[in-house]
Structure 1
Amino acid sequence: MADSEHSSTNEALENPQEVTKEEPELEFSDDEEALTIRMYNLVGERWTLIAGRIPGRTAEEIEKYWNSRYSTSQ
């Protein structure tokens, strides 16, 4: 009985991607998305400048949102 419990623990450690949780998807309002698109067209990937125009958003959030929605590498 102890062996079966030990075995399941080892399986979880061998496959950490199955144990990790996905990060929640970022929610942007229509206005935030439109402003992000306009700013990106003006200044490119200068996420800090774009974040300065959207109250409450960080450069990291905007970059992550952009890459999840508009990345051409997928």
Structure 2
Amino acid sequence: MGDSEHSSSGDTFVDSREVTSRESKVKFSNDEETLIIRMYNLVGERWALIAGRIPGRTAKEIEEYWNTRCSTSE
């Protein structure tokens, strides 16, 4: 049983691009995107504060959105 569980998790090596593409599947409306960008310019990486302005969004969702769509670390 333990072997079957281990073999089913054979996707241990995950490319960071795959993780990014999974995280970016959360859809944001144009208004939400605009608000996130404007709020980021005002308050920086205060994700909880930004999330408080967008009903139904968590700080984690907004931070993941920012890191996948707006960050230019590469």
TM-score by length of 2: 0.70
Find the aligned partners of 1:13 and 1:63 in 2 and give their Cα distance: 27
Q: Which has the higher contact order (CA 8 A, sep 6+)?
A: 2
Q: Return 5+ residue gaps in structure 2 as ranges.
A: 1-5
Larger Rg: 1
The 5 Å alignment of 1:1-74 reads: 16-17=12-13, 23=22, 25-74=25-74
C-alpha separation in 1, matches of 2:36 and 2:68: 13
Give percent identity, aligned residues only.
60
Segments of structure 1 that go 5 or more residues without pairing to the other structure are 1-9
Q: How many residues align?
A: 63
TM superposition score normalised by structure 1: 0.70
CA RMSD of aligned residues (A): 2.6
Alpha-carbon distance in 2 for matches of 1:29, 1:13: 34
**Structure with greater helix percent:** 1
